[in-house]
A and B are shown apart, each in its own frame.
Chain A
Amino acid sequence: DVKVTQSSRYLVKRTGEKVFLECVQDMDHENMFWYRQDPGLGLRLIYFSYDVKMKEKGDIPEGYSVSREKKERFSLILESASTNQTSMYLCASSSGYSGNTIYFGEGSWLTVV
C-alpha cells in the first residue's frame, strides 16, 4: 500500500514563528503536493514538485515555501506564521505517468495563535 506520512498531526504555533511541515512517501513517486483544506473552500493547492529540487506554485503559494532535497521527502515551510494560515494541511504524492492516482497523507492540523 502507498504510504504518505506527515510528521505532525496537530500543531499549535505562535504568530510570526517559522513552521515546518514534513511529508514522506514510500512509493518512489515523482510528484508530491501540498494542499490546504478549509471549510467551504475545499482543497486548494499550495505547491507541488515533480522532481527533486523542482517546484511549481499552486493556487495559493503566498506565505509558503517548499523544499524537496530528496525524492521521498517534501517539506512545507511557513516563513512567518499568521492566524489566517490556521488550517488542515494535506500532503499527497503520485507517480509521473498519465492517469496517475494521487494519494494523500493523514493531514496536519495547524493552529496559529
Chain B
Amino acid sequence: DAKTTQPTSMDCAEGRAANLPCNHSTISGNEYVYWYRQIHSQGPQYIIHGLKNNETNEMASLIITEDRKSSTLILPHATLRDTAVYYCISRGSGGSNYKLTFGKGTLLTVNP
C-alpha cells in the first residue's frame, strides 16, 4: 500500500470547517483512500473512503485531487467531540488488503 503523509497536528475553532490534508503521491490505480479517526482509548472509527470521485456522508466530505496524489477530509462544522487523531490510509482492493497501515496521523484539536 502507498505511503501517506499528514501534518502532525492542526487546530480548528468550534463550528468552523476542519480541512485535513493527506499526501499519497505513490498511490496506485486500484488503491482506495480511507479515513479513520481515533479518540483516546477507543478503537479507530471509520469515517469515509473514496477511489477517484469526491465523496460525502453524514460525517464528512472527501475531496480527492484529479491526479489522486492528495486528498482532503472536510468536517464541515467541527465540534469539541471531533478532537481526535485522524488517519489517512491508502489501501488496495485485493490480496493483502486486510493489512491496514496506520501512520502517526493528524491530531486535530477543536477549540471552543
**Distance in Å: Cβ of B65 to nearest Cβ of chain A:** 20
Indicate with 1 or 0, residue by residue over A85-103, a CB within 8 angstroms of chain B CB atoms. 0001010101000111111
Contact stretch, chosen from A13-21, A62-70, A73-81, A105-113: A105-113
Q: Does A109 lie within 8 Å of B41, measured CB to CB?
A: yes
- B86 at interface (Cβ–Cβ under 8 A)? no
| A binding-site residues for B, Cβ under 8 Å | 4, 31, 33, 35, 42-43, 45, 48, 58-59, 88, 90, 92, 94, 98-107, 109
- B43 at interface (Cβ–Cβ under 8 A)? yes
Tell me if A's interface is mostly helix, strand, loop or mixed: strand
Q: Does B94 lie within 8 Å of A33, measured CB to CB?
A: no
Complex alpha-carbon distance, A16 and B102, angstroms = 31
Residue of B whose beta carbon sits closest to that of A59: B99
Complex alpha-carbon distance, A31 and B98, angstroms = 9
Complex alpha-carbon distance, A41 and B57, angstroms = 31
Residues of B within 8 A of A33 (CB): 98
Interface pairs (6), CB distance under 8 Å: A43-B44, A43-B100, A90-B43, A100-B97, A104-B44, A105-B43
Complex alpha-carbon distance, A94 and B97, angstroms = 11
**Distance in Å: Cβ of A101 to nearest Cβ of chain B:** 6
Q: Which single member of B41, B42, B93 contacts A99 (CB below 8 Å)? A: B93
Q: Which single member of B32, B45, B101, B104 contacts A104 (CB below 8 Å)? A: B45
Contact A102 B46, CB 8 Å, known A31-B98, A42-B103, A43-B100: yes
Complex alpha-carbon distance, A103 and B102, angstroms = 14
**Most interface-central of A43, A58, A98, A99 (chain B CB within 10 A):** A99
Q: Does B98 lie within 8 Å of A107, measured CB to CB?
A: no
Complex alpha-carbon distance, A58 and B96, angstroms = 10
Residues of A within 8 A of B32 (CB): 99
Within 37-56 of B, Cβ neighbours of A (below 8 Å) are at 41-46, 49, 51
Residues of B within 8 A of A101 (CB): 34, 46, 49
